[in-house]
Amino acid sequence: MTVDYKELVAQSYQAMAEGRIADFKAYFADQLVWKEAEGFPYGGVYHGIDAVVDHVHSRLGSEWVDYQATPKAYFVSENQVVVHGQYSGTYKKTNKFFRADFAHFYRFNEAEKVVNFIQVVDSALVQAAMTS
């Protein structure tokens, strides 16, 4: 049976959008390496999904109003998925709204779990919303 990696990634976005954190975490391998873009407010490399949720997603939820990562298109090659999408939200401290395109790169292991994630985004657009 062929694995539908696009569907697995789409389900992970849906789980996060609906606040189903345990379901979201289930898509990622224990040995996950997650790289947020340099210049992004939460930029850096995180090891394990708990670190990602604690240091990235929890902050997106607490520091922003209606922060969204909306997938627009999926591209699949073997065990890799690239997602083109759009971030949007309003930073609470400045009340400034932003919108920025992103690309997310996912690589799956043999157990059908994500082992690598890389974010590409114009972080200047995000930073502009965060500064007065």
At 120-129, the pLDDT tens digits run 999 999 999 9
- Binned at pLDDT 50, 70 and 90, residue 2 comes out as confident
Nearest to 106 by CA among 16, 1, 14, 35: 35
- Binned at pLDDT 50, 70 and 90, residue 1 comes out as low
Distance CA 25, CA 132 (A): 34
CATH of 5-130, one of 3.90.1300.10, 3.40.50.2020, 3.10.450.50, 3.40.1160.10: 3.10.450.50
Give tens-digit pLDDT for 66-125.
999 999 999 999 999 999 999 999 999 999 999 999 999 999 999 999 999 999 999 999
Query: DSSP class of residue 26?
Result: T
Give tens-digit pLDDT for 4-40.
999 999 999 999 999 999 999 999 999 999 999 999 9
Sorted by where each begins, the domain ranges of the chain are 5-130
Distance CA 68, CA 107 (A): 22
Q: What pTM did the predictor assign?
A: 0.94
Buried b (16+ CB within 10 A) or exposed e, 1-16: eeeebeebbebbbebb
